[in-house]
Structure 1
């Protein structure tokens, strides 16, 4: 159990809404138990379980309600012993009680039209579009339970039982519609409207209830992948908005999170095993098809010391980007991000850079050549031996700075674009990155929580070991960390230049990496425009 952040209404009245943490231990059990008790005590009750994906809603029936059925003779008696009383497939998940009550699982989409219910339960409803909720899900409540006793004269004074709505979700971004709903219900509840009830229950309740240990929370806080914003939402039940001084805004960033397929670099084990095959196969899940209209870049922001367990504002960050030509412009698609929190030598960081470059079949590398970056660049200009893969990588050279090449006195493959930051350069990369975000020219991997829910319907994914599932979701989680990082960065204007800076323990390594990558994409785009202009002038002669 992580956190509850909720809206809940009075059971005697009409509206019930609740928010529950995404990974809350016991949440699904509570929903299942509520549905069973309600259906038993109120004959003829119709309940619809909905979520962002039908699979998630179906899991409450196929796992939790089935467990209650198996363990409780009383529940089995109320439902019945026929096999068709409980259906547990993704496309048909439902429970039918002998007294006429029913529980259905429905996806939050067009296929749910036509269902009717007395109680609507939306699990992880932040994944549901507001339009879908208003036009498809809420209309399900346009029927009412009619207990037979209400037709008798002696009960004519009793009012019709109102239908109910329950909404469950972990906290989310303030830019999302559920924040407005949350505020609306809270305001009504505090104005003594007992049809509405709001509940926010953070992880401390789970600890007190014995459902979560303090050591588990501490392990999360000190993990290498710790992200404060995600922790605030998932554990603290806090809705998060961008800083008032933030240069990058949340809404445009969320709009560009549309990449549903990401690059998956092979592990060292996969690489070695494949090389030993009689006929090695292509390991990349992003094999290049169009080498003319696609350019691939790997960008690296360098930090060798790493962060410690409590302060993680010094990490190395990789960005892998595809440039897809559209006329005389390049659409930028980020398909993989990686961070290295631990301390690492210049040589080992250079080796990891070369691994990603060749795994991704990239064309260019963009990296900082100041400070620690200079040592990593020097390592890249030498022949490096990758002991883990038993592979030798050729030397590289700079494509935009002959003085740097003269200093290293090597003649490697010219593929590295070096950046040496100053106030003017930092201003330009900030402005240009914001521009491609707001115009939609840049695309980022979709939200990792949404991707996880989508993958739950994939049988192949569900069969993967836990570590492989984490690996599949890794770039999506990194993209979420990037967004959280961007909206927490602040800016100031000095001498006409915008300066981006981190506050407290926040980082800007992912920002620097993607900003470098986008900067070089702009340079390549300028060349493309000049090439097209030259061709136009040639044909005009």
Structure 2
């Protein structure tokens, strides 16, 4: 996954975040790992400003959470993609293997669900089993390893007096429950009547048009309400994140990409479309240039296949 050696002293943080860090460091807590009601009441506006900032700059939260002994840091292009995912009502991303598009999508929904009370997000893939495996791989085996603090936001369950994992996982399902009532889960099969606030369409080129249009997207019909039943119109409701490698013209994924492109021209603040070739992962050391040369010079070289997998065409 994405990693880059940097010196912690050179890591730059936006001013609002630095103010928040100074505020946290200046406070003393009587109970470790607990934010007390009195502390929240006294600094309510500062907490609100920090949360609002991190919702639109989730990459900065990753800088804050990264352990001191870790060399992990997102690249500039990945930060731009992550911010677009977090701010858009609908976004479409076509990138080659190695760019970590799935990691960024899962991280964006995890942070959005974590910082937004009772927010419910989902992921869907070619099959429920595939989506469940991806969910565990990206969250349990990746996000929680890189950012151990994220586990603290999960609602752990007690079964027969024993504390169990903060998620439910089966062969074809997975659900992660947050302490504030929100959740992130896998959807597929019969899902009519359920409601979600945002979703990831993993490898949309493999998904069926009928399922997406008639079952998955209708999950997002109702906007999220706050504790008083009000709707925040500044919040990107029904956020849809489409991620994929390149496919063929005339397919549902292609039409959805063109649709998102048109929306982004009309309203660039709410819609986004981005893509990239093998040059990005090669530039950042995630893919060897020699590998590309070998593929191109191979006797079994298929230009169409190469353009789809490595050129995003």
The TM-score with structure 1 as length reference comes to: 0.39
Pick aligned residue for 2:154 from 69, 79, 97: 79
Q: 1:92 to 1:129 in 2, by over 3 A?
A: closer
The aligned runs of 1:34-433 (5 Å cut-off) are 34-67=108-141, 68-70=143-145, 72-82=147-157, 83-107=164-188, 110-148=189-227, 151=230, 159=233, 161=235, 162-238=237-313
Instruction: Please give the per-residue CA displacement for 1:328-364, whole angstroms capped at 9, x wherever unaligned.
Output: xxxxxxxxxxxxxxxxxxxxxxxxxxxxxxxxxxxxx
Instruction: Please give the per-residue CA displacement for 1:456-514, whole angstroms capped at 9, x wherever unaligned.
Output: xxxxxxxxxxxxxxxxxxxxxxxxxxxxxxxxxxxxxxxxxxxxxxxxxxxxxxxxxxx
Measured on the aligned residues, the alpha-carbon RMSD in Å equals: 2.7
Paired with 1:115 and 1:17, the residues of 2 have a C-alpha distance of: 24
Q: 1:10 to 1:71 in 2, by over 3 A?
A: closer
Pick aligned residue for 2:104 from 19, 25, 30: 30
Contact 1:10 1:196 (C-alpha < 8 Å) held by counterparts:
no
Q: 1:56 to 1:91 in 2, by over 3 A?
A: closer
Paired with 1:90 and 1:224, the residues of 2 have a C-alpha distance of: 40
Q: 1:92 to 1:226 in 2, by over 3 A?
A: same
Paired with 1:12 and 1:28, the residues of 2 have a C-alpha distance of: 17
The Cα of 1:134 is off from its aligned counterpart by: 0.7
Instruction: Please give the per-residue CA displacement for 1:431-464, whole angstroms capped at 9, x wherever unaligned.
Output: xxxxxxxxxxxxxxxxxxxxxxxxxxxxxxxxxx
Contact 2:118 2:180 (C-alpha < 8 Å) held by counterparts:
yes
Paired with 2:100 and 2:106, the residues of 1 have a C-alpha distance of: 10
Q: 1:140 to 1:20 in 2, by over 3 A?
A: farther
The Cα of 1:198 is off from its aligned counterpart by: 1.0
Paired with 2:84 and 2:255, the residues of 1 have a C-alpha distance of: 17
Paired with 1:213 and 1:138, the residues of 2 have a C-alpha distance of: 38
Contact 1:17 1:167 (C-alpha < 8 Å) held by counterparts:
yes
Instruction: Please give the per-residue CA displacement for 1:304-336, whole angstroms capped at 9, x wherever unaligned.
Output: xxxxxxxxxxxxxxxxxxxxxxxxxxxxxxxxx
Instruction: Please give the per-residue CA displacement for 1:83-138, whole angstroms capped at 9, x wherever unaligned.
Output: 2521232222111111112111123xx33334321112101111112121110111
Paired with 1:190 and 1:88, the residues of 2 have a C-alpha distance of: 40
Contact 1:70 1:76 (C-alpha < 8 Å) held by counterparts:
no
The Cα of 1:65 is off from its aligned counterpart by: 0.5
Alignment partner, residue 21 of structure 2: none
Q: 1:20 to 1:46 in 2, by over 3 A?
A: farther
Kindly name which structure, 1 or 2, has the bigger radius of gyration based on alpha carbons.
Answer: 1
Unaligned runs of 5+ in 2: 2-77, 158-163
Instruction: Please give the per-residue CA displacement for 1:257-312, whole angstroms capped at 9, x wherever unaligned.
Output: xxxxxxxxxxxxxxxxxxxxxxxxxxxxxxxxxxxxxxxxxxxxxxxxxxxxxxxx
Q: 1:65 to 1:173 in 2, by over 3 A?
A: same
The Cα of 1:81 is off from its aligned counterpart by: 4.2
Higher relative contact order (CA 8 A, sep 6+): 2
Paired with 1:54 and 1:225, the residues of 2 have a C-alpha distance of: 34
Paired with 2:156 and 2:267, the residues of 1 have a C-alpha distance of: 45
Paired with 1:54 and 1:36, the residues of 2 have a C-alpha distance of: 19
Q: As a proportion of its length, which structure holds more strand?
A: 1
Instruction: Please give the per-residue CA displacement for 1:361-386, whole angstroms capped at 9, x wherever unaligned.
Output: xxxxxxxxxxxxxxxxxxxxxxxxxx
Q: 1:91 to 1:184 in 2, by over 3 A?
A: closer
Unaligned runs of 5+ in 1: 239-541
Q: 1:71 to 1:168 in 2, by over 3 A?
A: closer
Contact 1:9 1:15 (C-alpha < 8 Å) held by counterparts:
no
Contact 1:19 1:171 (C-alpha < 8 Å) held by counterparts:
yes
Alignment partner, residue 61 of structure 2: none
Paired with 1:139 and 1:29, the residues of 2 have a C-alpha distance of: 25
Q: 1:69 to 1:227 in 2, by over 3 A?
A: same
Paired with 2:280 and 2:267, the residues of 1 have a C-alpha distance of: 26
